[in-house]
């Protein structure tokens, strides 16, 4: 997979605008905003200008006119090059066809959660579930409103995707909370016991050094698998 010379997805959005017609960077930013693309692609000025610069350095876009009106700051209008158009279509195709590993923040949280006691985690995830439900309601309202305005579903696809993924997360979190509370998830009992011991003053290192002594037979699962 030949790595893209300019990696920021914002660069792709810039190319998408310039594929329509030449624009200056600020116009690109307002265009993306109007179309709601900044919901899907992180946009901030610093990145925008450095990305435009990088695209130019690599010959994917080129400066057309650079004029000024009154004593306003200069405006440079850029146009896409044939190589830029090829890069755009290739990159977009790859984005659609090839899943990439994304580091979700909840995944990090779940990976480290044993550092907190299981009942605490259950409570925190419960709060998360509430917030997810609120976000889903907001998205629903937004979609209804957009529909009422006559916006075609085609332009809501990315938002529907976000909603779908949010709903999936909620489903997982709800299941998790119930598994934690009921204690059916293998390992939770031991996990809870470790935190009880720790709160009672036993250093965690010591528990791990000889789990079976502190936790009984179930502690065996903490030993390194042969």
Partner DNA sequence: ACCCGAATACTCGAAGTCGAGTATCAGCGC
Partner DNA sequence: GCGCTGATACTCGACTTCGAGTATTCGGGT
CA pair distance 112, 30, nearest whole angstrom = 40
Q: Could you tell which of a second copy, DNA, none binds residue 100, using a CB distance below 5 to 8 A set by kind?
A: a second copy
Residues 21-40 that bind a second copy (CB under 8 A): 21, 37, 39-40
Q: Could you tell which of a second copy, DNA, none binds residue 21, using a CB distance below 5 to 8 A set by kind?
A: a second copy
C-alpha to C-alpha distances, 220 to 59, 101, 217, nearest whole angstrom: 60, 33, 6
- Enter the tokens of residue 215: 């936790």
Shortest reach from residue 91's CB to DNA, in Å: 14
Q: Could you tell which of a second copy, DNA, none binds residue 70, using a CB distance below 5 to 8 A set by kind?
A: DNA
42 binds a second copy (CB under 8 A): yes
Q: Could you tell which of DNA, a second copy, none binds residue 164, using a CB distance below 5 to 8 A set by kind?
A: a second copy
Shortest reach from residue 198's CB to a second copy, in Å: 11
- Enter the tokens of residue 35: 């179309």
Residues 30-69 that bind DNA (CB under 7 A): 30, 42, 44-47, 49-51, 54, 69
Shortest reach from residue 73's CB to a second copy, in Å: 26
The runs of H, that is alpha helices, within the chain are 9-20, 25-34, 45-57, 82-97, 105-112, 118-148, 157-182, 188-199, 204-209, 211-215
* Residue 36 CB partners (closer than 8 Å, separation 6+): 155, 159
């Amino acid at each position: 997979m030949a790595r893209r010379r300019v990696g920021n997805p914002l660069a792709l959005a810039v190319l998408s605008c310039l594929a329509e017609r030449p624009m200056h960077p600020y116009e690109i930013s307002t265009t993306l905003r109007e179309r709601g693309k900044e919901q899907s692609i992180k946009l901030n000025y610093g990145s925008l200008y450095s990305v435009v610069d990088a695209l130019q350095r690599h010959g994917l876009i080129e400066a057309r006119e650079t004029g000024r009106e009154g004593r306003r700051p200069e405006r440079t209008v850029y146009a896409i090059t044939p190589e830029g158009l090829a890069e755009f279509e290739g990159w977009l195709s790859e984005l659609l066809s090839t899943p990439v590993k994304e580091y979700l923040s909840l995944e990090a949280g779940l990976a480290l959660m044993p550092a907190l006691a299981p009942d605490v985690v259950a409570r925190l995830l419960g709060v998360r579930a509430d917030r997810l439900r609120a976000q889903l309601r907001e998205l629903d309202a937004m979609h209804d409103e957009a529909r009422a305005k006559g916006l075609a579903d085609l332009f809501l696809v990315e938002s529907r995707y976000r909603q779908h993924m949010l709903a999936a997360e909620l489903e997982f979190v709800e299941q998790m909370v119930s598994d934690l509370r009921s204690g059916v998830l293998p390992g939770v009992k031991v996990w809870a016991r470790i935190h009880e011991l720790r709160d009672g003053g036993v250093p965690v290192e010591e528990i791990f050094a000889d789990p079976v002594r502190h936790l009984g037979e179930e502690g065996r699962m903490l030993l390194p698998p042969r």
